[in-house]
Amino acid sequence: MKKFLLRVVIFSTLTLIISFGLIALLNSLVQKDGFYHVNEDISSIVVGDSHPECAFNDSLIDSMKNFAQSGESYFYTYVKLKRILEHNSHIDRVFVEFNNGQMIKNMDSSIWDDKHVSSKFPKYGFAMEYKELYLLGSHNLSALINAQSISVLWNVDLLQKENRTMYMLDWGGYKRLTNDGEELIDSAASILKSDSMVVEHSTVNLEYLLKLVKLCKEKKVEVVFVRSPVHQKYYGRKNEVTFRYIQKKYFSEIPFLDYQDMKLEDKDFADLHHLNYMGAKKFSIYFNNELKQSQLK
């Protein structure tokens, strides 16, 4: 019996060593393969969650690439941005979506809950360092282990591609929404006044936004906060007091381009907090023209 148990322990240990070795090898190969490189004509990028993902049509904005992605906390944005800036010295400005939703307490758990680890880790895992892996593992080890197997398949598939570019990583991009949310907006109830509620804010997500800003400063890359347009009835406005407090306390020196209340028609929205393709076209053209005329150009 003792010999059997010993064999089980030895077999399990060897399996773990081989598994982690394979993961490390694949991660190393992907990191060295040039996936991080962005076209030389791109000088600025926009990062964040689904708001900029649906608002910034980068085909209408000069020298910009949209790297925003739905459901993305600043934790994953930081991992992505660190690699992009390391390998693309021609990028000199980063627009970071800074909105109410990113500051709610639930954004912390969205870093390590089952849903986000399983969907985000395969895309970003190979670019993570020990600190990021430890954070995920310390909060949800089972999800991290399960996502590792998906990550292995993801990396193997990437390495088999002949024409390898960064855009194959699925690290974000403009999302063209075609639905018209007028009916939904008409039926939506008016929200509570945005200046009437103080709510508990995120801590870990805020920590990674601070790290993101520090990273840009270290790389001598200009960082600009931006808040994409949302509808007046959008429920996410309710924590505006908390949002403004955080902005003033931690980011008062960061330029903030606030388009939350940009005048758009109901037909320009896919829902209360996302622009459809018509709204994105209007906003992107306006944004591009504003940059040309401002000191940020």
What is the predicted pLDDT for the residue at 16? Answer: 42
What is the predicted pLDDT for the residue at 175? Answer: 95
Choose among 23, 29, 124, 32: nearest CA to 81: 124
CATH of 33-293, one of 1.20.120, 3.40.50, 3.10.450, 1.10.3470: 3.40.50
Choose among 226, 231, 227: nearest CA to 274: 231
**pTM for the full model?**
0.85
What is the predicted pLDDT for the residue at 122? Answer: 86
- Three-state SS for 104? strand
Choose among 71, 94, 67, 96: nearest CA to 80: 67
Mean pLDDT split into 10-residue runs, the chain, 297 residues:
55 45 56 74 96 97 96 95 93 96 90 94 87 93 85 68 63 91 67 54 94 97 97 86 92 96 93 95 96 73
Residue 285 parent element (H or E): helix 277-293
